[in-house]
Amino acid sequence: MTTIPVQYYLVVAAALFCIGLAISITKRHFIGMLLGIELMLNAVNINLVAFGRHDPERLSGQLFALFVIVVAAAEVTVALAIILRVYGRFRTVDPDKVNELKQ
């Protein structure tokens, strides 16, 4: 079984992280920014799993990735609730237009 070198995984994860960063900067929609953040979290998980491949007894990398997935799920639910609340109050999803805490 030929194995892929760990650098390949790291390059793919770096590209995915940078794409996610560019998405969350350029999108003018709250949920678009969330999509970018999800991509960034996935890229980090690829790094953790790629290094965890060399730790077969304890699997620390995979456990860390599992906890990252749990935190990402919690983050998305709370973020979506906040976005719906902001949309109900300001009637917009553009982050540039929500520029005051009170209306």
Partner 1 sequence: MEAIIFYLFSALTLAAGLFILFSKNLIYGAFALFLAFLGVAALYVLAGADFLAVSQIMIYVGGILVLLIFGIMLTQKKEKSDDSTRHNRIEVPITRKIWGFLTGIGLFGLLVKVILSSDFRMAGGEMSSKSTIKTIGVELMTTHLLPFEIAAILLLVALIGAAYLALNRNPTA
Stretch 52-71 residues interacting with partner 1 (CB under 8 A):
52-59, 62-63, 65-67, 69-71
Residue 97 makes contact with partner 1 by CB under 8 A: no
Closest distance of CB 68 from partner 1, Å = 10
Residue 14 makes contact with partner 1 by CB under 8 A: yes
Using alpha carbons, select from 43, 40, 48 the residue that is nearest to residue 66: 48
Residue 30 makes contact with partner 1 by CB under 8 A: yes
Residues 6+ apart with CB under 8 A from 19: 36, 39
Sign of the C-alpha dihedral computed for residues 82, 86, 89 and 91 taken in this order: negative
Residue 102 makes contact with partner 1 by CB under 8 A: no
Residue 33 makes contact with partner 1 by CB under 8 A: no
Among 81, 97, 100, 101, binds partner 1 (CB under 8 A): 81
